[in-house]
Amino acid sequence: MLEDLFKVVRARFNDGEEEKSDGSSDINIPKDLLFKCPRCGTVAYMEDFEKNRKVCAACNYHARLTWQERLQYTADPGTFVEFDAGMTGKNPIEFPDYEKKVKAAQQQCGTNEAIVTGECLIHGYRCVIGIMDSNFMMASMGSVVGEKITRAFEYATEKKLPVVLFTASGGARMQEGIVSLMQMAKTSGAAARHSQAGQLYVTVLADPTTGGVTASFASLGDIIIAEPKVLIGFAGRRVIQGTIKQQLPDDFQTAEFMQENGFVDMIVERTMMRRTLARIMKLHNYPKEERPKS
């Protein structure tokens, strides 16, 4: 069941709140000045944290990025061409205030939906790229996310390009009901056709990759990369805790846990990501372009 997926994320950040009970941290941290790691609780200056590409210097937790940051760290400058920037969703089950919520997220994130797709070069290797932004309604997958991913795969299949997807999601977009569930089948089908056409698909699992996204395209890469310490799982931690009635180990559903259990090829540091992606494309015989097309 996809229940409680949003709570997973909150639970992670609530770890900090639980510390309050021992009376240590009732100080209100100014949001823009300091970063408190949800994993280890270490507090750092926001400036240092951002300089460190939003990686916790103490525990190496790779925190969430906006799509703009991810693009900046990944694509060769000036090479990104966006697809479907104007696509917006509807309200299939007439969920109250859904449009309002989407509009607020659009304004906050500077994008039409929870994923940005397009074409770019990574160290000279041309690929189709998709970046999910968890700031946009926890990057849940509704019609637009499903359609954009499907079109990205179809374009890559036609142009014989590899696909690189950075996943981060709470799962299916509840507000779109059954229509959102169907996006799992639709995106997986598009990935299947791209695969049958002999093209490479790499997924980079970022914080948090859960629910219906884990149970569809995120798990279907030829090569699956994860960032250190990120949350990866199907069911929410609290749902599972409710089922088994006992505490779960701290490393449960981390990138490291998933690798140990055989579901992640490699855990790659943010600073090494571009080089690793380029290396993978090179090893799959994709050509390097000497000069980015203008």
Partner 1 sequence: MNKLTATERLALIRLKNRPTVNDYIPVIFNNFLELHGDRHYGDDPAIMCGIATLNSVPVTVIAQVKGRNIEENKRTNFSMPHPEGYRKALRVAKEAEKFHRPVICLVDTPGAFCGVEAEKRGQGEAIARNLMEFMTLRTPVISVVLGEGGSGGALALAVCDELAMLENALYSVISPRGFASILWKDPGREKEACELMKITAEDAQRFGVCDRIIPEAVGGAQNDMKLTASNLAEYLSEAVERISQFDIDIMLENRYNKFRKIGMFEE
Q: By the criterion CB under 8 A, which residues form the site for partner 1?
A: 1-7, 84, 86-93, 95, 143-144, 146-147, 150, 172, 174-186, 188-193, 195-196, 211-212, 214-220, 233-236, 239-240, 243-244, 248, 252-253, 261-263
Taking the complex as a whole, how short is the minimal distance between the CB of residue 148 and partner 1, in angstroms? 9
Helix (H) or strand (E) holding 205: strand 201-209
Characterise 105 by phi-psi region: left (phi > 0), alpha (psi -120 to 50), beta (else): alpha
Bridge partners (DSSP) of residue 126 are 121
Helix axes 67-74, 273-283, angle to 10 degrees: 60
Fill in the DSSP letter of residue 20.
Answer: G
Tell me the residue length of the chain: 294
Quick one: 156 or 278, whose CB is closer to partner 1? Answer: 156
Taking the complex as a whole, how short is the minimal distance between the CB of residue 105 and partner 1, in angstroms? 15
Amino acid of residue 63: A
Query: Residue 68 has which token pair?
Result: 């703009």
Taking the complex as a whole, how short is the minimal distance between the CB of residue 44 and partner 1, in angstroms? 31
> Cβ–Cβ contacts within 10 Å for residue 251, how many?
12
Quick one: 43 or 179, whose CB is closer to partner 1? Answer: 179
Taking the complex as a whole, how short is the minimal distance between the CB of residue 61 and partner 1, in angstroms? 20
Quick one: 126 or 186, whose CB is closer to partner 1? Answer: 186
Quick one: 13 or 252, whose CB is closer to partner 1? Answer: 252
Quick one: 38 or 212, whose CB is closer to partner 1? Answer: 212
Bridge partners (DSSP) of residue 240 are none
Rounded CA-CA distance 252/248 in Å is 7
Q: From residue 268, how far is each of 6, 31, 49, 120, 208 by CA, in Å?
A: 25, 28, 18, 21, 15
Quick one: 61 or 234, whose CB is closer to partner 1? Answer: 234
Rounded CA-CA distance 191/68 in Å is 25
> Quick check: helix, strand or coil at residue 212?
helix
Quick one: 94 or 290, whose CB is closer to partner 1? Answer: 94
Taking the complex as a whole, how short is the minimal distance between the CB of residue 82 and partner 1, in angstroms? 13
Taking the complex as a whole, how short is the minimal distance between the CB of residue 250 and partner 1, in angstroms? 13
Residue 81 burial (10 A CB sphere; 0-12, 13-18, 19+):
exposed
Taking the complex as a whole, how short is the minimal distance between the CB of residue 134 and partner 1, in angstroms? 16
